[in-house]
Chain A
């Protein structure tokens, strides 16, 4: 087992899939000789050449749209949006085209594209390099949205996304890129898309989260364990379509549920998670379902104290869990 950083797991997954299948190729801005602005495609241009690690013009709709066309033909494109915040020009392509290709053609055509995008804040990226965008896509049947939290999940799920027969929006937390490290098996593996993962067992309070917040939740859980609170932590991993059974199971386990996302609160995927719990778990609930999320302001500002005010921190999570436990 090697210890990889989150971003190394991205690179490894890309490299392995490109070796495995000639139809896999990368397209995006600065993905070539530079290896990506975050260096996610580091070394791939050298190894696989210009055609398979394609620097595109600066035009997101074309990156998505050209990738979609290639995918319809039968290629396995991995399109990179430099920042999730810049995905907006490509939304029509992703929602109207990729997500609906199979359905509108009655299963005649399909679109196996993977669109990678770094999201999330806490990196002094300000309004347009910090956003969480998943909620905008989390109402689009036909699309899958994967948001892994650990290097192990990154590698297994990115490989699975590339092999998936349908479009996958693969969102990587940019602060996790170098902050989060973890063991990754040397041998080949993939992980199932659409399956949440219990990252920690517990029976006083259930925390459901994903991405970087998941790590904060785990840290808080460990701390609270010493005080005698037992926290159950579920990592959604795929935020669309949601693993409803896993959510139901985790929520029912304790009846006290805290949902954490870095996204703006209103309309976040956690609203849907809460609805699933409300629909399925009413008679197991022992406390109001709680959400911790970013505030409902457009995005996080640049100035460090303002950014900090936006981001959810360990103390907030800790006190929210304690609050529920004591309720």
Chain B
């Protein structure tokens, strides 16, 4: 069991890094909740419980050339694609230095062109056709990159999901559709969202493979995404991957999840917390030791503290900047 990552071609360093990113994502998220409850940031939408799927998927891609269209919980993905902790803090504090939007968007609406993290909005699933469009461009331009797009299971009911998958299927495009199934679309549970058993069942309708993997296992997700990416690069077209796990937090800092689910249900789910299970895998394999775990925790705490302070002290954008960038401001702008 402990050699699974080796079978996947991952080194000990790779999986340690994988864990570190998951942990960083979790710790950042926890800090954001504290800041919210302290009245310092208006809003948090959380990644807790989904870090393994996010980091596992991102690490299966080529973060130098591939494109990613994350949805609003994907802290693990954007960290893996190059966004820094401080940048995420600037985003949550809505500061001018936020690379996603300069303080214009609510947290979670990621986008950073230099890292090929494609800008996103709040109406869900609109990013799916965009990913197909970018994949279409890759095909037309004969480029080797693949495009990964993520979304929740609720989003798999939107027209854009079906239109996007169908388009990609028809035109055989190098795109990976990654569903992060956390069991709830805000308050509505899976069985009120899907008539079929799994989101991945829907792939058949669009002529592509669809699989469901354990989203608490970063290596399983890594494996599935790696295969899909290889297929895409080989010209074999799109894939739908459903990752399943449990959302540990309420939908957002404005949601009270006790109105629709029990504390016991949440506690039960937390027994499968991917950070705990992956840590024990790494400990079993003696990759994660008490020593490097302490060092890692210390380092992450330092990074987050510094990032929080820096972001809190950073300036807001000038109010007059609200008028900027409705359209290209000069010929050179693109």
Q: Which residues of A contact B (CB under 8 A)?
A: 25, 51-52, 54, 56-57, 59, 61-62, 64-75, 77, 89, 92-93, 96-97, 100-110, 112, 141-142, 144, 164-166
B328's contact among A51, A141, A165, by CB below 8 Å, is which? A165
A107's contact among B134, B137, B141, B333, by CB below 8 Å, is which? B333
B119 within 8 A of A: yes
The CB with the most chain B CB atoms within 10 A, among A89, A97, A106, is that of A106
Contact of A96 with B163 at beta-carbon distance under 8 Å, contacts A66-B133, A73-B134 already known:
no
Residue of A nearest to B113 (CB): A108
Contact of A51 with B140 at beta-carbon distance under 8 Å, contacts A65-B164, A96-B126, A105-B100 already known:
yes
**Smallest CB separation, B307 vs chain A (Å):** 20
Q: Which residues of B contact A (CB under 8 A)?
A: 67, 98-105, 109, 111-113, 118-119, 121-123, 126, 128-141, 159-160, 163-164, 166-167, 170-171, 324-329, 333-334
Q: Please give, as numbers and ranges, the residues of chain A lying within 8 Å of B166 by CB-CB distance.
A: 57, 59, 62
Contact between B130 and A69, CB atoms less than 8 A apart: yes
Contact between B133 and A93, CB atoms less than 8 A apart: no
The CB with the most chain A CB atoms within 10 A, among B123, B133, B139, B159, is that of B133
Contact between A104 and B105, CB atoms less than 8 A apart: yes
A109's contact among B111, B132, B326, B327, by CB below 8 Å, is which? B111
A89's contact among B105, B138, B159, B325, by CB below 8 Å, is which? B159
Contact between B328 and A62, CB atoms less than 8 A apart: no
Q: Please give, as numbers and ranges, the residues of chain B lying within 8 Å of A75 by CB-CB distance.
A: 133, 137, 140-141
The CB with the most chain A CB atoms within 10 A, among B118, B132, B325, B328, is that of B325
Q: What would 7 more interface pairs be, CB under 8 Å, given A51-B140, A165-B334? A: A66-B129, A73-B137, A102-B325, A103-B325, A108-B100, A108-B119, A165-B333
Q: Please give, as numbers and ranges, the residues of chain A lying within 8 Å of B160 by CB-CB distance.
A: 61-62, 65, 92-93
Contact between B136 and A108, CB atoms less than 8 A apart: no
B102's contact among A69, A96, A106, by CB below 8 Å, is which? A106
**Smallest CB separation, A228 vs chain B (Å):** 44
**Smallest CB separation, A106 vs chain B (Å):** 3
Q: Please give, as numbers and ranges, the residues of chain A lying within 8 Å of B67 by CB-CB distance.
A: 73
Contact between A66 and B136, CB atoms less than 8 A apart: yes
A66's contact among B102, B109, B141, B164, by CB below 8 Å, is which? B164
CA distance A92 to B159 in the complex (A): 11
Contact between B101 and A104, CB atoms less than 8 A apart: yes
Residue of A nearest to B114 (CB): A108
Contact between B334 and A66, CB atoms less than 8 A apart: no
Contact between A103 and B326, CB atoms less than 8 A apart: yes
**Smallest CB separation, B311 vs chain A (Å):** 16
B159's contact among A56, A61, A69, by CB below 8 Å, is which? A61
Q: Please give, as numbers and ranges, the residues of chain B lying within 8 Å of A71 by CB-CB distance.
A: 133
Q: Please give, as numbers and ranges, the residues of chain B lying within 8 Å of A101 by CB-CB distance.
A: 119
CA distance A170 to B327 in the complex (A): 16
CA distance A110 to B111 in the complex (A): 12
The CB with the most chain B CB atoms within 10 A, among A25, A97, A142, A144, is that of A97
Could you list some 19 contacts between A and B, CB below 8 A? A25-B140, A54-B136, A62-B129, A62-B132, A64-B129, A65-B126, A65-B160, A66-B164, A69-B137, A72-B133, A73-B137, A93-B126, A96-B121, A96-B122, A102-B328, A104-B121, A106-B100, A164-B328, A166-B328
Contact between A56 and B126, CB atoms less than 8 A apart: no
Contact between A97 and B159, CB atoms less than 8 A apart: no
Residue of B nearest to A142 (CB): B326
Q: Please give, as numbers and ranges, the residues of chain B lying within 8 Å of A59 by CB-CB distance.
A: 159, 163, 166-167
Contact between B133 and A105, CB atoms less than 8 A apart: no
Q: Please give, as numbers and ranges, the residues of chain A lying within 8 Å of B131 by CB-CB distance.
A: 69
A69's contact among B105, B121, B134, B163, by CB below 8 Å, is which? B134
Q: Please give, as numbers and ranges, the residues of chain B lying within 8 Å of A77 by CB-CB distance.
A: 133
Contact between B163 and A108, CB atoms less than 8 A apart: no
Contact between B333 and A110, CB atoms less than 8 A apart: yes
Residue of A nearest to B325 (CB): A107
The CB with the most chain B CB atoms within 10 A, among A77, A89, A92, A108, is that of A108
Contact between B328 and A67, CB atoms less than 8 A apart: no
Contact between A65 and B119, CB atoms less than 8 A apart: no
CA distance A93 to B170 in the complex (A): 20
The CB with the most chain A CB atoms within 10 A, among B103, B163, B167, B328, is that of B163
**Smallest CB separation, B84 vs chain A (Å):** 16
Q: Please give, as numbers and ranges, the residues of chain B lying within 8 Å of A97 by CB-CB distance.
A: 121, 126, 130
Q: Please give, as numbers and ranges, the residues of chain A lying within 8 Å of B100 by CB-CB distance.
A: 105-106, 108
**Smallest CB separation, A99 vs chain B (Å):** 9
Q: Please give, as numbers and ranges, the residues of chain A lying within 8 Å of B136 by CB-CB distance.
A: 54, 66, 69-70
Contact between B326 and A65, CB atoms less than 8 A apart: no
CA distance A36 to B325 in the complex (A): 35
Contact between B325 and A57, CB atoms less than 8 A apart: no
Contact between B134 and A70, CB atoms less than 8 A apart: yes
B119's contact among A25, A93, A104, A142, by CB below 8 Å, is which? A104
**Smallest CB separation, A293 vs chain B (Å):** 28
Q: Please give, as numbers and ranges, the residues of chain B lying within 8 Å of A67 by CB-CB distance.
A: 133
The CB with the most chain A CB atoms within 10 A, among B98, B104, B160, is that of B160
CA distance A59 to B162 in the complex (A): 10
Contact between A166 and B133, CB atoms less than 8 A apart: no
Contact between B132 and A65, CB atoms less than 8 A apart: yes
